[in-house]
Chains A and B, each alone.
Chain A
């Protein structure tokens, strides 16, 4: 699903965020990405989203070489990736429904189709009854679930989550992780950046560890899936 081949990223400021990173994530996997802040997790996510381009090396996503994806093809490429942010990036000028519907509207779905899919997605995260509310009236955990509903509404093959539980208490975090596990069981590939070692340990999934821009553990699917202490 995702293959990095000696990928380096050096920003214009001269800071080297990733250096010669190699790893492979298979279709249908659920992988945690850990490391201290500044280890390169965000850069790695941005490279997959084509928000940044590598200075060196090759990135394949879904069997496509991403360096060939340019211009308006980037927008179409992103429609196959659901993104969950730590600050959930919801728009407070519209209802929960409209927030979740955004990826479908952008992709040009029919209104009837949109209604059906948005409700299915909100149902999955348990917020069906709040579709008419403004997200600003929801709690932090609920807002994050709206963000997740928006990420999966398009049924993307890949979900990227950047510190999705960063602002939540352990109980809500566990709930979010349960949701992610369900999506994984439906066949979606998930890459979740997190520094919550305890939570990751309990999930019993493969952990890709980054330190100072290098992969220090979990580069391949067969590597053991426990978090290092």
Chain B
């Protein structure tokens, strides 16, 4: 049966293709498969488009949440930039020394704004907001210290400069203590961590759904080409050969869905951009919505493509083995 066995002058000898030729033909089959499966999808535009849309929606949902999260995060950083330092003035500070220090501070570059709250102001504020007015009336003297609210300038709003400013304020003889109010920033960070977990979980669920959708679509494609698969198997097509077009189909479904998801995302962001910047203007902020970066967009499309490939692989593994020549 093999070429070596019985060379005859004509016919019945299978020519042996060289491995180099085989490699070339393997590559050729890959590119043919890739192209043919894409054309096959485009030949039924409506059906393919609906599948692409399903995939796109399932991809765009977690992507939208991710983008929203990113934006809230960057908004959080912007707010963090405007964090305040509260300086508690020691009780025995003289008014004159305090006024002198306030003037000194005002002349510093790293301080944008300085607000003085006298003990009496603080007490009034506490009385109105805490609801403990009656208790305060019983006190013989005002227990609250005077407070300086220091707003660092933009250059000193982060890292080392901020720390330096904080240290200076802390060590000044007139100050009892200086505190950077970070609590709410920490809370926001915790919330964002929680939200990003939720988004991840959501993405995982939708990814699983995507896998099943593509798997099912490929299963139908396999069923519709049953005759072809049988004949190919009978004339000596390997499983890999039979599998290949379906894997490419899955890949195209995923990639196409990913691209449409990007378009949906861009449309949504565009729609929201104007109201968001108007809202930001009202808060004197120059915040604007950020979409996915180029790399992140590429990653999204690739991820969708990979999920498509994986879904096709699952379907092919399950259903192709069941089609055997009888």
Contacts and interface: CB of A to CB of B under 8 A. Distances in A.
Contacts of B24: 110
Interface stretch (B165-173, B235-243, B271-279): B235-243
A140 to B, nearest CB: 18
A78 B239 contact: no
A49 B231 CA distance: 13
Interface string B224-241: 000110111111111111
B1 interface: yes
A72 B319 CA distance: 17
B13 A155 contact: yes
Contact of B12 (A51, A79, A157): A157
Contact of B10 (A62, A75, A76, A186): A186
Contacts of B235: 78-79, 83, 102-103, 106, 150, 154
Given A27-B6, A64-B1, A76 B236 contact: yes
Interface string B1-14: 11001101011111
Contacts of A171: none
A78 B236 contact: yes
Nearest to B225: A93
A224 B313 CA distance: 54
Nearest to A117: B15
A229 interface: no
B11 A108 contact: no
A135 to B, nearest CB: 12
Contacts of B325: 49, 51
A14 interface: no
A155 B42 CA distance: 37
B234 A158 contact: no
B239 A109 contact: no
A107 interface: yes
B138 interface: no
A75 B5 contact: no
Contacts of A156: 12, 14
B159 to A, nearest CB: 61
Contacts of A76: 236, 238
Contact of A109 (B11, B17, B230, B237): B17
B137 interface: no
A80 interface: yes
Contacts of B240: 72
A190 to B, nearest CB: 11
B227 A106 contact: no
Contacts of A133: none
B171 to A, nearest CB: 78
Nearest to B240: A72
Given A62-B5, A63-B5, A110-B25, A186 B11 contact: yes
B197 interface: no
Interface string A50-64: 010000000001111
B106 interface: no
A152 B152 CA distance: 87
Interface in A1-60: 1, 27, 46, 49, 51
A102 B232 contact: yes
A126 interface: no
A157 B1 contact: yes
Nearest to A72: B238
A89 interface: yes
A187 B228 contact: no
Contacts of A154: 14, 235
Please name the 7 residue pairs, one residue from A and one from B, whose CB atoms are nearest each other, closest first.
A62-B1, A79-B236, A186-B11, A108-B25, A78-B236, A103-B235, A75-B238
Interface of B: 1-2, 5-6, 8, 10-15, 17, 21-22, 24-26, 28-29, 227-228, 230-241, 324-326
Interface of A: 1, 27, 46, 49, 51, 61-64, 72, 75-80, 83, 89, 91, 93, 102-103, 105-111, 150, 154-158, 183, 186-189
18 contacts: A1-B1, A46-B326, A51-B324, A61-B1, A62-B1, A72-B239, A72-B240, A75-B241, A77-B1, A83-B234, A89-B230, A106-B238, A107-B236, A108-B26, A155-B15, A183-B11, A186-B11, A186-B12
Given A27-B6, A91-B228, A109-B17, 20 more contacts: A49-B325, A62-B2, A63-B5, A72-B239, A78-B236, A89-B231, A93-B228, A106-B236, A106-B237, A108-B29, A110-B21, A110-B24, A150-B235, A154-B235, A155-B13, A155-B14, A157-B1, A157-B14, A188-B11, A189-B12
